[in-house]
Structure 1
Amino acid sequence: MAKISKTNRPSVIKDLKSNDEAFALKAIEKIKKGGDASYINDVLEALSATTELGIENAISQLLFDLKDKEAVEELVNHWSNPAFTEIRVLILSACWQSGIDLSHRLPDFVTVATAGTYMECLEVLTVIENWEAISDQEVLENETIRLKAFLSESDTPENDEMIFSIVEELEKFVVQ
C-alpha cells in the first residue's frame, strides 16, 4: 500500500469534501489504499456534510471495513463531537464491524448508551456482545453499577430494556 504523501493530502481532502461524487469516490479509494488514522476526522466531516447517497455509501463502507486499531480508536474519540451526532449510530456500527477489541473503552460505550438514542443503545449492545472478555474487572464493576443506577432513575423507557440487556451482557464478563 502506497501511503498518501503529505503534499497530496490537501488535494485528497479537498476532493473528499467536494460533494462531487466522481472526485469524492476517487479520494475515498485513495484513503482506503493509502490513508491512516489521521484521516478519520476528515472522513467523518465529509460523511456528515455530504448530500450525495453514493458518497455516503462509499464512506460508510470505508468505515465498516476498517481493520486498523488506531483508526477505530479515532472513531471512538470522535463520537462525542457534537458535529457527528447525526452519524453516531454509523460510527458505533463501524466499531463492531471492525472486529477490534474495544473493551478497554467500556466507559465510553456506557456513556453513549446512557445518553444516546435507542439505536445507539442497540449498537452499544452489539459491540459488547462481540467482545470475548473485559480484562479490567474494576472498570467492569463500576460501569455495571453506573448502568444499574441509570436504570433506577431513568426517564427514557424506550432505552431501558436495551440498557438492561447491556447490564446482562456485562455480567457475563464477571470473573468469579
Structure 2
Amino acid sequence: MTKENSNRIDKTTLNRLKSENTDTAIEAISELKEKGHAGYVPILIELLHTSDNPEIKSRIFRLLAELKQSDAIPLIIDAIENKKYANERQQLVSACWENGLDYSHHLSLFVDLVIENDLEIAFEAYTVITNMSGKISKEIADKESEKLKRAMLEADDQQKQLMHDLLDFLPAFERGIEPQTF
C-alpha cells in the first residue's frame, strides 16, 4: 500500500474485493498491496471478518502484516477494540508487531490485551509492547506497572510471566528504547 494515493475508495476495487470469484478478490488484494492506501484497511478487516475463504483471509492478513503507512494505525486499533472483530483480534494484534509501525501511543491498550485475553492474544500483545521504541513518561510507566501488578494476583503462571517481563521492560521504555534493527 502506498502513502501518496488519495484516500478515495475505488468502487471497482471494492466490488472486486467483495467478488464471489476467489481469484478476482485475491487479485484485488494483491493490487492494493502495490497501489492501495490506508483507507482500504477497514474494508479489508471487514472482509477478513466475513470471508469463509482461507486464502482470502491469509492474503489480507499478510497485507496487514506488511503495512508501512502510519495512517493505518488508528484503523487497526479501532478494529482491535471493536468486539465485532473478537475472532480476528489475535491476527490483528499479530499484524501490529509484524508490520513494525509505532504503536507506542497505544501502550495501555496492549497492556490491557495482555491482562484481559487468552494466552495467544496476550503473547501477541506482549510482542507488540516489547517491540515498541521511543520513550514513555514516568507517569505512564507507573500507571501501567500498577495495572500489571494488580492483574498478576489473579493471572495464571504463563500470563504472570509475561506480565513480570513487562514490569522489567517498562523502566527501560521510560528511559528510552531505540528501534530494533534486524
TM-score above 0.5: yes
Amino acid of the residue matched to residue 139 of structure 1? I
Q: 2:138·2:174 contact (CA, 8 Å) conserved in 1? A: yes
Task: Output one character per residue of 1:132-164: Cα deviation in whole Å (capped at 9) or x when no partner.
Answer: 333333112111111111112x25555222222
- For normalisation by structure 1, the TM-score amounts to 0.86
Match for residue 162 of structure 1? 162
**2:63 maps to which residue?**
62
| Residues 24-59 of structure 1 deviation map (CA, whole Å, 9 limit, x = unaligned) | 112212322232222111101111111212211111
Q: How many residues align?
A: 174
- What secondary structure does 1:173 align onto? helix
Give aligned-pair identity as a percent.
25
CA distance in 1, matches of 2:104, 2:140: 10
Q: Give the match's secondary structure for 1:14.
A: helix
| SS at 2:81 equivalent | coil
* TM-score after normalising by structure 2: 0.83
- What is the match of residue 49 of structure 2? 48
Q: Is 1:172 aligned to 2:158, yes or no? A: no
Aligned to 2:109: 108
| Residue 101 of structure 1, CA deviation | 2.0
Offset of residue 11 of structure 1: 2.7
Q: Which moved more, 1:40-49 or 1:21-30?
A: 21-30
Q: How does 1:77-92 map to 2 (within 5 A)?
A: 77-92=78-93
Task: Output the CA distance in 1 between the equivalents of 2:165 and 2:73.
Answer: 24
CA distance in 1 between counterparts of 2:137 and 2:18 reads 40
Equivalent residue, structure 2, for 1:126? 127
1:30 aligned onto 2:42: no
Q: Which runs of 5+ in 2 are unaligned?
A: 176-182
Q: How far apart are the structure 2 equivalents of 1:38 and 1:112?
A: 25
